[in-house]
Chain A
């Protein structure tokens, strides 16, 4: 049993194996994403009852909450992968971190945009500095941008991988500090009252589509990251024989 699991770990560090695995998982993940997102969208837009206070406006949480969650989760995933790559010198782990960063940044951006769109009818303004969660989401986007810019500034891929891994680790330590300090700051500033869904008061009709949407977004994230990872592996392994064979066979 032990030998099997170790063999599997070694395989996971092998670029050709992960490339093929990602290729095999891709269509399944894509199909699961489409089905789950369709179900969640139907549930969120049609089945869930309108909110007694916000009417139909609350329905944007079915996009906003999952994308905010993915934005944060992706950063932790990216930093963990980068740390694995730094500590054990696994190049593939760096490739995972590099592939996850733009996807995570996009979901963070989506969370900001949907937050702003929701804010217009609810707060009367697109942006509310007093909302701690939006502001810390913005700082998270800056951290993503810093990571991607630093990574792109290096010509030497190996060095860039390891330097940006340190930045990702510094960032992931700072995310909770930034979040709590922004929260503390905004409670002191709290001017106009903000109407917000009370988390425990949410009914099952509203919660179930949200959970389905979160699952769908996670599947979508996994699918996108694996696609990017395939491209990243091909680029990194461009000079190796197995990639050469793939190209001559016309497989890519």
Chain B
């Protein structure tokens, strides 16, 4: 547990000191979302029906943006080898890094999403569901992102490839997330897709760190 908290605190501290990296995905999120009205139409009906999907796609893309550095800087300065050599299980340490990544990249996004949702004329009643769905979906995204980052960490240019590896795997999250939000917009009960999002998150957070740590061990060799 002490190793978990120390890795978690260290990653948070680094992220806060490099605040520009912290802000980039957020601004990216807002920019993607605000470009969609140009591409579609400023019409209220169009934006209201497409708004849920736009928000989710923007959240997905911007959460992938921050992940290239997840293990790369540790790999370059040698602290990854220290983590692998430490007596604590590597899976736990990777889990701590995933949690820190989630706090840094997903939490601000969840706070910002309702504002953007309002700009797409989504009803206020649907906002709690949107927040819950994002809170349940983003851990899965962070876990998948960690797997992608660990697989590509020993390559010189991982950036584009990570998206290719991870994005197809995010289809279920996207399906259940947009469905929950859409159902809330139409005033239907939303528990079903939220449960499924929670199940996905539990599954990915349990197995994702193991896959990522296996990939990290191979990459360090």
Q: Are A139 and B147 in contact (CB under 8 A)?
A: no
B58 part of interface (Cβ distance < 8 Å) = no
Label chain B's interface by main secondary structure. helix
A-B contacts counted at CB < 8 A amount to: 67
By a CB distance below 8 angstroms, the chain B residues around A153 are 152, 155, 161
Q: Are A167 and B218 in contact (CB under 8 A)?
A: no
Q: Are A139 and B168 in contact (CB under 8 A)?
A: yes
Q: Residues of B within 8 Å of A, CB-based: how many?
A: 26
B200 part of interface (Cβ distance < 8 Å) = yes
Q: Are B151 and A181 in contact (CB under 8 A)?
A: no
Q: Which of B160-188 contact A (CB under 8 A)?
A: 161, 164-165, 167-169, 171-172, 175-176, 179
Shortest distance between the CB of B186 and any CB in chain A (Å): 12
> Which of the listed residues A143, A153, A154 has the most CB atoms from chain B within 10 Å of its own CB?
A153
B115 part of interface (Cβ distance < 8 Å) = no
Closest A residue to B178 by beta carbon equals: A185
Q: Are B171 and A181 in contact (CB under 8 A)?
A: yes
Complex Cα spacing A143 to B166, Å:
9
Closest B residue to A169 by beta carbon equals: B211
B215 part of interface (Cβ distance < 8 Å) = yes
Q: Are B175 and A167 in contact (CB under 8 A)?
A: no
Q: Residues of A within 8 Å of B, CB-based: how many?
A: 27
B154 part of interface (Cβ distance < 8 Å) = yes
By a CB distance below 8 angstroms, the chain B residues around A174 are 169
Q: Which of B91-147 contact A (CB under 8 A)?
A: 147
A47 part of interface (Cβ distance < 8 Å) = no
B214 part of interface (Cβ distance < 8 Å) = yes
Label chain A's interface by main secondary structure. helix
B219 part of interface (Cβ distance < 8 Å) = yes
A188 part of interface (Cβ distance < 8 Å) = yes
By a CB distance below 8 angstroms, the chain B residues around A182 are 171-172, 175
B27 part of interface (Cβ distance < 8 Å) = no
A150 part of interface (Cβ distance < 8 Å) = yes
When the two chains form the complex, which single residue of A146, A163, A178, A181 contacts B218, counting CB atoms closer than 8 Å? A163
By a CB distance below 8 angstroms, the chain B residues around A139 are 168, 171
By a CB distance below 8 angstroms, the chain B residues around A170 are 147, 169, 211
B9 part of interface (Cβ distance < 8 Å) = no
By a CB distance below 8 angstroms, the chain B residues around A145 are 164
Interface flags for B189-221 (1: CB within 8 Å of A; 0: not) read: 000000010001001000100010011001101
A173 part of interface (Cβ distance < 8 Å) = yes
Complex Cα spacing A173 to B218, Å:
20
Interface flags for A119-141 (1: CB within 8 Å of B; 0: not) read: 00000000000000000000100
A59 part of interface (Cβ distance < 8 Å) = no
> Which of the listed residues A139, A150, A159, A164 has the most CB atoms from chain B within 10 Å of its own CB?
A150
Shortest distance between the CB of A156 and any CB in chain B (Å): 8
Q: Are B154 and A159 in contact (CB under 8 A)?
A: yes
Residues in A lying within 8 Å of B, measured CB to CB: 139, 142-143, 145-146, 149-150, 153-154, 159, 162-164, 166-167, 169-171, 173-174, 177-178, 181-182, 184-185, 188
Query: Can you give 19 A-B contacts (C-beta < 8 A)?
Result: A142-B168, A143-B168, A146-B165, A149-B164, A150-B161, A153-B152, A153-B161, A159-B219, A163-B151, A163-B219, A166-B218, A167-B151, A167-B165, A171-B169, A173-B207, A177-B172, A177-B200, A181-B172, A181-B175
**Nearest 4 A-B pairs (CB), nearest first?**
A181-B172, A142-B168, A146-B165, A185-B175
16 A-B pairs besides A145-B164, A166-B151, A166-B214 with CB distance below 8 A are A142-B164, A142-B167, A146-B168, A159-B221, A163-B154, A164-B151, A166-B218, A170-B147, A171-B169, A173-B207, A178-B171, A181-B171, A181-B172, A181-B196, A182-B175, A188-B179
